[in-house]
Amino acid sequence: MQKSECSGGTQLKNRVTGNDDQRTSSGTQIKHRNAVQRSKSSLSTSSPESAGKLHPRPSDKLNPKTINPFGEQSRAPSAFAAIYSKGGIPCRLVHGSVKHRLQWECPPESLSFDPLLITLAEGLRETKHPYTFVSQEGFRELLLVKGAPEKAVPLLPRLIPVLKAALVHSDDEVFERGLNALVQLSVVVGPSLNDHLKHLLTSLSKRLMDKKFKEPITSALQKLEQRGGSGSLSIIKSKIPTYCSICC
């Protein structure tokens, strides 16, 4: 009888000990998994790529806006960037020690303005180098060639919406490029711009409320009036009543 009780007690003790060993083993496995997960998390946050995202380098703030060959811009270029990269713009940027310049593949006066002038105007909305320089300088130089008025006037119905898109852009630099292009165009086409002027003045009126643009916009309006003749003043005043004529 005593042997039976002793044997039963031994078996119970062995079962209890076995359960304790299983719980100890399970707990050890859980701790090991948690340690591995913490280790992976630590490695991911300490990687150079992650560190760069969490802590931008000081040089990132100093570098100008430029094309990142590994960024989204290179995978999904704008229409102007795509045309430029395929050689659709017959000029290239030449880097100088003091300033940049454009090198044309052929004399600009021999080029057709359609659709080149419109394409360059569309590039005014670019925000990355070299597209910003190529578009604004190419637009300016093309309008300086002999016979520019005859080539530019027929394109006004298509040019104006493109310039308007630059004037309503949220980027201040894009707006400034659009404003400069508008003045350059007015010098070339003169009163022919009057019929389209009202489509652009609303955008200028809104920006006129910003103090930093008051002087350049006023100067631009005066040049538009000067080039547009007497007919331009009434158009400007209808959209911007506070405008003071250069004749005052």
In a domain, 177, yes or no: yes
Four-CA torsion 67, 73, 74, 76, nearest 10 degrees = -160
164 CB contacts (<8 Å, ≥6 apart)?
199, 200, 203
pLDDT at 27: 54
In a domain, 137, yes or no: yes
Element (H, E) at 68: none
In a domain, 11, yes or no: no
CB distance 235 to 227 below 8 Å: no
3-state secondary structure of 104: strand
| Whether the predicted pLDDT of 83 surpasses 70 | yes
The structure's pTM equals 0.70
Report how many domains make up the chain.
1
pLDDT at 38: 60
Find the domain containing 165 and state its range.
78-239
In a domain, 20, yes or no: no
Q: What is the CATH number of the domain that holds 93?
A: 1.25.40
Structural tokens at position 158: 């298509």
In a domain, 223, yes or no: yes
In a domain, 144, yes or no: yes
In a domain, 128, yes or no: yes
How many other C-beta atoms lie within 10 A of the C-beta of residue 86?
A: 8
Diameter over CA atoms, the chain: 129
In a domain, 72, yes or no: no
pLDDT per position as a tens digit, 119-174: 999 999 999 999 999 999 999 999 999 999 999 999 999 999 999 999 999 999 99
| Whether the predicted pLDDT of 13 surpasses 90 | no
